[in-house]
Amino acid sequence: MTERDLERGNNEIQTGQRVVLVTGPSGAGRSTAIHALEDLGYEAIDNLPLSLVPRLLDGPPLARPIALGIDVRNRDFSATALIELIDGLTLLPEVAPEVLFLDCHPDELIRRYGETRRRHPLSGAGTPAQGVESEIDLLAPIRARAEALIDTTELSPHDLKAEIGRWFGGGSAARLAVSLHSFSYKRGVPRGLDIMLDCRFLRNPHWEAALRPLDGRDPAVASFVAADKRFEAFFAKTVDLLTLLLPAQVDEGKSHVAIGFGCTGGQHRSVTVTEKMAKALAEAGWQVSKRHRELERRAAGAPGNMTR
């Protein structure tokens, strides 16, 4: 993203051009997803070089949303370049970018390549399994940035089209993607949050030896956090607030809202609140994705993970 793009984003009126970046490992269903979005009225472009995306969006917004298919076969593709593109688009108030990541179990990807007898784009002289493994590692940072994550392992093309329709077609709730993030304040606030709430006032399971090694998805931890006398009122008022704000975001043309819940270590309280809030909003009809940043770091074996 050039300085001219950023300056344009700071000065022009917000128009909210919706741009869905569709990516994922080869064989996970990207082409099917692109066609499904095209059927929903999106302007669909596949394998556009990343360097041309800002030029595509330069000028008046299109009358309909855009879906861009991106994978490792793009001419100038790299995980770093794609993340920089996402960050650049996020800074432009007239663009509403979203990342749709199509995930799939490695064994299923290998089976699909075995059926089609096509060469994996990263296999070279190696086996499809080696190509699949390399691509999954390459795309891991993009997967972590996705607003919409669809696992296609057990989905037929028909099922995937229906899932795309659930996420990107239909009424107000379907037009707004809500992503919930748990995080540790010690590691800094996640980039791109629209709303942020502090959960550090709640009872901290870290100080209970039996709960310390667990995380907020565990029923014992969730019960401990919910037993705080302030939790019920806090949670109910937050649901009421979001129930008020989310339809207003739709009215303003927003396509994505990112909401963060933070605590000291990003392992217990913020995770519990994120899990419970995701369930409450999904039951209210909103399309919700969730990300637990510190748990992802811990699962990846990152050093220095926080535990409070």
Return averaged pLDDT per consecutive 10 residues of the chain, 308 residues in all: 38 62 91 89 88 85 87 80 90 88 90 71 70 86 89 88 78 70 94 93 97 96 97 97 91 81 97 96 88 87 49
Is 305 inside any structural domain?
Answer: no
CA dihedral 51, 53, 55, 56 (to 10 degrees): 150
252 within some domain: yes
Q: What is the pLDDT of residue 17?
A: 86
Are residues 208 and 120 part of one domain? no
Are residues 225 and 151 located together in one domain of the fold?
Answer: no
What's the domain count of the chain? 2
147 and 222 belong to one structural domain: no
Q: How many residues does the chain have?
A: 308
Distance CA(250)–CA(173), nearest Å, equals 8
Tell me which of 169, 193, 218 is where a domain ends: 169
Residue 133 and residue 265 in one domain: no
Residue 133 lies in a domain: yes
SS3 at position 180: strand
Q: What is the pLDDT, as a whole number, of residue 15?
A: 45
Q: Which residues contact 45 (CB under 8 A, 6 or more apart)?
A: 56, 66, 67, 68, 69
Q: Which domain holds residue 201?
A: 175-299
Residue 154 domain-assigned (yes or no) = yes
- Answer yes or no: is 304 within a domain: no
Please indicate, yes or no, whether residues 196 and 106 belong to a single structural domain of this protein. no
pLDDT at 5: 41
**88 and 127 housed in the same domain:** yes
Cα–Cα distance between 72 and 82 in angstroms, integer? 10
* Contact indicator for 175, 252 with CB cutoff of 8 Å: no
The stretches of 169-303 forming alpha helices (DSSP H) are 172-175, 219-226, 231-251, 269-283, 293-299
Query: Of 169, 198, 223, which closes a domain?
Result: 169
Q: What is the CATH number of the domain that holds 98?
A: 3.40.50.300
On whether both 163 and 190 belong to a single domain, the answer is: no
Q: Are residues 109 and 57 in the same domain?
A: yes
Candidates 45, 50, 26; CA nearest to 138 is 26
- Per-residue DSSP letter, 50: G
Task: Give the residue from 169, 191, 213 where a domain finishes.
Answer: 169
Predicted pLDDT of residue 301: 64
Residue 217 falls inside a structural domain:
yes
Q: Is residue 127 a part of any domain in this protein?
A: yes
Residue 69 domain-assigned (yes or no): yes
Dist. CA 167–CA 102, nearest whole Å = 13
